Amino acid sequence: MADPAWPYEARPAKGGRADYVLYDQQGNPLAVIEAKKTAIQPYTAKQQALPYARQLGAPFIFLTNGELIYFWDYQNDDARIVNAFFSRQDLERLLYLRRERKPLATVPIPEHFVSNGRACTLRPYQREAMRALDHAIELGKRRFLIELPTGTGKTALIVLYLKRLIEAGHAMRVLFLVDREQLAMQALAAFQDLAPHYSSYWLRPGTEREEKQITVCLLQTMISRYEEFTSGYFDVVVMDESHRSIYGNWQTALTHFDALHIGLTATPAAYIDRNTYRFYGCETNKPDFSYPIQQAFEEGYLVPYTFATGITRLIAEGAEDEEEHYDPAAFERKWTNEDTNRLMMQEFDRLAWENYKNLAPDQDPGPGKAVVFAITKHHAARLARYLNELHPEHRGRYAEVITSDVQDAGELIRRFQQETYPMVAVSVDMLTTGFDLPELLHLVLCRRVRSPILYQQMRGRGTRRADHIGKRRFVIYDFFGNKEYFGDSDADVFSGAATGRAPGGSGSDRAPTERELAELGLEDEWLRAVSYVEVGPEGERIDKRAYRSYWEDAVRAAAGTDPILRKIRDGQPLSAEEEQELARRLNTPDYYFNQDNLRRAYDNTTGDLIDFVRVALGQARVKSREEILTENFQAWLVTKNLTPEQAQYLTLLKNRGIVKGGIRVHDLFEPPLSILDAAGVGVELFGEVELKRIIQELNESVFQEAA
């Protein structure tokens, strides 16, 4: 079968001086390919290929030995490892950009811009971030990490900057990756609002790729679709919420693209995983640009918060609540019952109505918008019911549950944002990121939080300004001692610079654990820790194996008659409308088949709805462990700045790690590695300390994720 990365035929070079020459549509040489045997490091063939490329006038060179591929724009950069060959169109575009490129300084950073019909002014820190990006790009840096607190305009900043890159001829195609559907909708809306002259679309699961300048996509979707694109397809890749630990499949979807990579995160430096810093070429705890949340409060760009006082604290001192993983259903049963849930809602409701005019004098009607975070879906349903009982005049519409199992959750979120009622949204983790409501005045924590990343994401829901209601502050109602755990207070804002303190403890600082550093939130933490899936508005618990069986039986039974399922079965792409219609129809009683529930059932954080349909139809090919490890290794290798000899050596260790499930230093002294003097060669290439460190990193970043 033809390789999709080669949509044209390469012609063998004459005279034996190079293996292949790639030509453009007019027959002009584009690139020389030098192919070597697997045992030969392809980087060493640079000087062999260079004279022939110059003689032909081919601007690019590829060097490969079947395992490693180097791309060399020899007039501008050194050869670098890429994940796959570029297409003719990629190379022609790169050549065009090279000819048309202007210095970024010739494209002014805008002082003002129009958003949704309103005149806006670019803030000083946004201008500083743009200048820092300009400087890094002009110096040849290809990866850049920006830390900005929630509510300070990361999306507007990056859209305006990408617009400048395109205008300056530094880019034509952009990939914008997010990890929540709400973030995808916001990003697409921002591009269409701030950069309407550039075509954009959302690449959804099962839909056909479009040839537009801006592609918005969920990272989870791209993980299963990145092979549809050549490595040179995009000029810029932006990863929103890039605090995620960049390893394994997550890393593969990013490193596949040889592009300028820009990471955006609201997570403070201390809690960004070290692999993320490595990927973006930063020193640990030092993003390329950072704007601290304390400074945003002081300068008035974010609204500060206060904690409600005198409320009941459910978790008492000395309680056993520090397990590495815990069953949320068991935790709910242990710490809440009808009386405690009613008490929490009564105290929140009373305080909210007493104080809302002090928070926002122009808020009307009271008490203003609120988000309640519950332990489970079942818990969320109970809390919403108790709030509605407190306000019978609204006939059950005062508070609404918003989870993945709610019919048309997107429409319910829209109503919560734009209409007076519901006044309160009760959720578990759906509103922690990708949710924007400036008028939010009340944030209610009816659950334990132990991830500093998740805690700050939740807290960030209330920091946005709402001048039209005179918003001065918002209130956090913390019933589970989370502020004590993190040492957070009105006067001393927890921002990750200091570490949390355990409730009832001595108050001494402690170092963040690896679990806290890498934790992606409750969804990932509990994914494999429980044996059930919580489904429906009441949070019914169904055994994972039974849920998978129900799903597969339902899909197979409907595949013959349902036109959308039949298209998936027959390998036909869906329209965006069909993909959304399928998601809507599946997410109905009795089992609420949706992407979130299926991920839990299959213990798979990266699958999308179409992937799970194909699994049910028996069409999805499950990759072997060796394939997963090889992909993970290749993605990891691309992030390293290695000599050719070091890359070749690590490939040797990778092959041994595939066999044994990991690498130990002791393995270097045993056959077959000892026969090759792997220990001596490794020390010579890296030094003893660095060799041990890189073996540890291989185990953490490559082999662990396939376990």
Residue 437: count of CB within 10 angstroms of its CB: 19
Residue 517: predicted pLDDT:
33
Q: What pLDDT does 9 receive?
A: 47
- The yes-or-no verdict on residue 15 having pLDDT over 70 is no
Beta-bridge mates of residue 478 = 445
Joined together, the tokens standing for residue 549 give 């069986």
Amino acid at 31: A
Answer with the residue of higher pLDDT: 413 or 537.
Answer: 413
Least confident of 63-67, 202-206, 310-314: 310-314
Tell me what pLDDT residue 623 has: 61
Which tokens belong to 354?
């007493």
Residue 407 in this model has a pLDDT that exceeds 60: yes
Question: Residue 305: which residues within 8 A CB-CB, separation 6 or more?
Answer: 443, 459, 462, 463, 473, 474, 475, 476, 490
Give the angle 433-587-208 at the CA atoms, nearest 5°.
75
Reported as a pLDDT band with limits 50, 70 and 90, residue 5 is very low
The predicted pLDDT at position 624 comes to 64
Per-residue confidence band for 513, with pLDDT thresholds at 50, 70 and 90: very low
Please state, in angstroms and rounded to a whole number, the distance separating the CA atoms of residues 451 and 499.
11
Q: What confidence score (pLDDT) does residue 697 get? A: 82
State residue 431's pLDDT score.
Answer: 87
Q: What is the pLDDT of residues 472-502, one digit of tens each?
A: 999 999 998 889 888 898 888 887 643 333 3
Alpha carbon of 157 to those of 202, 260, 666: distances in Å?
20, 16, 49
pLDDT at 330 over 90: no
pLDDT of residue 364: 94
Q: Which pLDDT score is estimated for 276?
A: 78
What pLDDT is recorded for position 16?
53
- Which of 169-178, 630-639, 693-702 bottoms out in mean pLDDT, i.e. has the lowest? 630-639
- State the Cα–Cα distance between residues 32 and 17, nearest whole angstrom: 10
Tell me which of 139 and 128 has the higher pLDDT: 128
pLDDT at 313 over 50: yes
pLDDT at residue 707 is higher than 50: no
Higher pLDDT, 193 or 405: 193
AA letter at 526:
W
Max mean pLDDT among 273-287, 537-551, 636-650 falls in: 537-551
| pLDDT for residue 499 | 38
Least confident of 523-537, 573-587, 603-617: 523-537
Residue 271 pLDDT grade (very low, low, confident, very high; cuts 50, 70, 90): low
Average pLDDT along the chain = 84
128 in helix, strand or coil? helix
Q: What is the CA radius of gyration of the chain?
A: 27
pLDDT tens-digit readout, 624-683 = 667 777 877 877 777 677 888 898 899 889 888 888 878 888 889 988 888 889 999 999
Q: Among 279-293, 338-352, 548-562, 591-605, name the one with the lowest average pLDDT.
A: 591-605
| Cβ–Cβ under 8 Å, residues 532 and 329 | yes
pLDDT of residue 244: 56
CB atoms within 10 A of CB 664: 13
Confidence of residue 279 (pLDDT cuts 50, 70, 90): confident
Domains present along the chain, CATH in parentheses: 11-89 (3.90.1570.30), 104-291 (3.40.50.300), 305-524 (3.40.50.300), 531-616 (no CATH), 625-706 (no CATH)
Confidence at residue 631, expressed as pLDDT on a 0 to 100 scale: 76
Task: Mark 403-412 as b/e (b = at least 16 C-beta within 10 Å).
Answer: bbbbeebeeb
The token pair that represents 189 in the structure block: 């809306």
**pLDDT value at position 621?**
62
Judged against a pLDDT cut of 60, whether residue 705 lies above it is answered with no
Assign 367 a pLDDT band (cuts: 50, 70, 90): very high
Share above pLDDT 90 across residues of the chain, in percent, rounded to a whole number:
45
Q: What is the pTM of this model?
A: 0.80
Over range 533-558, report the average pLDDT: 87
Query: Is the pLDDT assigned to residue 269 strictly greater than 80?
Result: no
pLDDT: which is higher, 432 or 462? 462
Of 20-34, 153-167, 267-281, 500-514, the range with the lowest mean pLDDT is 500-514
Check residue 497 and give its pLDDT: 43
